[in-house]
A and B are shown apart, each in its own frame.
Chain A
């Protein structure tokens, strides 16, 4: 049984510290929708998504009412679309449109899976598919896209990396009247996971069941508040406090995930333990790092503090959930975190520091706006750097970077809502094109050969 203090603590977490279930994401396998033509396939895809996920919004609303915990986002992830379109890759945009329409019908904000897995090499149909991404992101509203360009097992596909540099540029250019929003819906991954519930990088892996419910919990505000209570604690005790807090947050996620899966006739997939910030005050990962003792995030010591935070979140969360997966760690997007936005505006956090931070946290260079005239090869080189960190360290890394058309350092992009706003950050001006144009593969590291 629980005590009165436990009850009041939970209520304070929700009321004052932004505890929420960040997303209930239904993963759907679309393989059964493949037909002879793109048109028929698109029709089947629309029908399947609308049928299987019909009750996702209602179920989330009900659960939120019953447990008294906000469930912020309801989302769907699907089989990587490139695999559905191998026979007609140039018509993949039809499937993209069907998915976007289905998302609108369901009343969800994002649907992920306009994706391709090319971590070893690029098949011809994947090449055609990847080229359709910018146009599709510019003409749809809710659809998100991702491409896996490398893995610890297979190395880094540098042809895909080069292509992605161009795709980011074009996705931003085609949405230039929205500050390059298209690029904010695109992720380049290394070691992409198949059960990630968070956007924009969610897709439903080929090794998954037909219908799965994955849940992403959050609560940077709760962790920060817990640390505020022990301002003089040493880092051993601080780590312990983070673990305990992560445990409670994750238990809430586990309860909601199991119940949601039952009501939606789906398999319970995983709980993703990530600390996902929002632009709201007091819902910031950067402010946790500052609470640990760094004046402004980005200062020396940031990487160490983040490493401890990320690890403690995992340790607390693993104990709390029967199945943990997804990205599970701390997210450090710039535009979606008020502490990050402030540090970037003040010039106190740089791309180089962010890259270092991605070595010890769960994702990568996330929601970072850079000058619109950054060459595609430079963006590709950033992707290659991140992929290398992921490949060597056996972890997921990602790049979601927005080369904002017409903007330069000192300007700002503003996407509104959860995607937030960000100052344009400077990138190194030196030319990396020779490295990128070489193509080929960066071979898998020696420690990947474990068989």
Chain B
């Protein structure tokens, strides 16, 4: 199962490193990363494979949210199906 991880907020050093380490420690395999910086605004979108993840997706989503609070960013982890459903016919 794949998840989309979205990190947004004010740009600062080490965001990619922090988030990818965090995900790797939990068994999520990052398959794709894209990021943009618009002025001070940072947006990163990752596709992560959770087939070997150590916890359920809802739990992991919650942990990501908490990590976001800790580092002052907004982080979502969501099942990819929601985007497939909403944006594909």
Residue A248 at the B interface, CB < 8 A? Answer: yes
The listed residue (A61, A64, A66, A251) touching B86 by CB distance below 8 A is: A251
Q: Does A431 contact B (CB under 8 A)?
A: no
The reply to whether B34 and A65 form a contact with Cβ atoms under 8 Å apart is: no
Residues of B within 8 A of A7 (CB): 4, 6, 45, 83
By the criterion CB–CB under 8 Å, are B62 and A65 in contact? yes
What's the Cα separation between A62 and B81 when bound, in Å? 15
Cβ contacts B61-79/A at 8 Å (1 or 0 each): 1100000000000001111
Chain A residues 54-73 with CB under 8 Å of chain B are: 61-62, 64-69
B84 to chain A: closest residue by CB:
A2
The answer to whether B85 and A68 touch across the interface, beta carbons within 8 angstroms, is no
With A65-B62, A67-B82 already in contact, the answer to whether A8 and B6 are too (CB < 8 A) is yes
Given A4-B45, A8-B6, A11-B76, are A66 and B57 neighbors across the interface (CB < 8 Å)?
yes
In the complex, A206 has a CB within 8 A of chain B: no
Q: Contact string, B1-41, partner A, CB cutoff 8 A, digits 1/0?
A: 00010101000000000000000000000000010100000
For B34, what are the chain A residues with a Cβ–Cβ distance below 8 Å?
A: 4
- Nearest chain A CB to B21 CB, angstrom units: 22
The B-contacting residues of A in range 372-424, CB under 8 angstroms, are none
Q: A2 to chain B: which residues have CB within 8 Å? A: 83-84, 86-88
Q: How many residues of A contact B (CB 8 A)?
A: 24
**Which residues, 272 to 324 on A, are CB-close (under 8 Å) to B?**
319
A356: CB under 8 A from chain B? no
Give the residue name and chain of the A residue nearest to B35 (CB). A4
Q: Main secondary structure on chain A at its contact with chain B?
A: helix
User: Would B57 and A65 count as touching, CB distance under 8 A?
Assistant: yes
Could you tell me if A66 and B87 are in contact, using CB atoms closer than 8 angstroms? no
Top 4 closest pairs, chain A to chain B, by CB: A65-B58, A68-B78, A6-B87, A255-B85
A191 part of interface (Cβ distance < 8 Å): no
- 8 residue pairs A–B, Cβ–Cβ below 8 Å: A6-B83, A7-B45, A8-B45, A9-B87, A66-B58, A66-B79, A252-B82, A319-B89
- In the assembled complex, B53 has its CB within 8 A of some CB on chain A: no
Question: B residues engaging A (CB < 8 A)?
Answer: 4, 6, 8, 34, 36, 43, 45, 57-59, 61-62, 76-79, 81-89
Q: Is A140 on the interface with B (CB-CB < 8 A)?
A: no
Contact present for A10 and B86 (CB under 8 Å): yes
A68 touches B82 (CB 8 A): yes
Chain B residue nearest to A12 in the complex (CB) = B8
Closest-CB distance, B43 to chain A (whole angstroms): 7
A254 CB–B CB distance under 8 Å: yes
Q: Out of B57, B61, B76, B86, which one reaches A252, CB within 8 Å?
A: B86
Interface of A toward B, CB cutoff 8 Å = 1-4, 6-11, 61-62, 64-69, 248, 251-252, 254-255, 319
Q: Give B45 Cβ to nearest chain A Cβ, in Å.
A: 5
Q: Taking the nearest CB of chain A, how far is it from the CB of B51, in angstroms? A: 15
**From A61, which residue of chain B is reached at the shortest CB distance?**
B58
A255 to B85, CA, bound (A): 7
A2 and B2 alpha carbons, distance in the complex (Å): 13
Task: Say whether B58 contacts A6, CB under 8 Å.
Answer: no
Whether the pair A255, B82 counts as a contact (CB closer than 8 A) is yes
Tell me which of B45, B59, B76, B89 contacts A68 (CB under 8 A): B76
Give the chain A neighbours of B89 by CB distance below 8 A. Answer: 319
Asked if A67 and B45 make an inter-chain contact with CB atoms under 8 angstroms apart, the answer reads no
Q: Given the complex of chains A and B, what is the CA–CA distance between A62 and B77 in angstroms? A: 13
A248-B82 in contact (CB<8A): no
Q: How distant is A225 from chain B, measured CB to nearest CB, in Å?
A: 15
**Additional A-B contacts beyond A7-B4, A7-B83, A254-B85 (7; CB < 8 A):** A6-B86, A6-B87, A8-B8, A66-B57, A68-B82, A252-B86, A255-B82
**Contact present for A8 and B43 (CB under 8 Å):** yes
Q: Which residues of A have CB within 8 Å of B45?
A: 4, 7-8
Considering the complex, give the chain A residue whose CB is closest to the CB of B4. A7
Closest residue of A by beta carbon distance from B82 = A67
Q: How far, in angstroms, from A3 to B43 measured CA to CA in the complex?
A: 13
Q: Could you say which residues of chain B place their CB within 8 Å of the CB of A62?
A: 58
Chain A proximity of B12: nearest CB distance (Å) = 19
CA distance A435 to B2 in the complex (A): 64
CB distance from B19 to the nearest CB of A (A): 15
Cβ–Cβ < 8 Å partners of B81 in chain A: 67, 255
B88–chain A nearest beta-carbon distance, Å: 7
Write out the residue numbers on chain A whose beta carbons fall within 8 Å of the beta carbon of B6.
7-8, 11
Contact, CB under 8 Å: A66 / B78 = yes
B42 to chain A: closest CB distance in Å?
12
Closest residue to B80 on the A side, CB-wise? A2
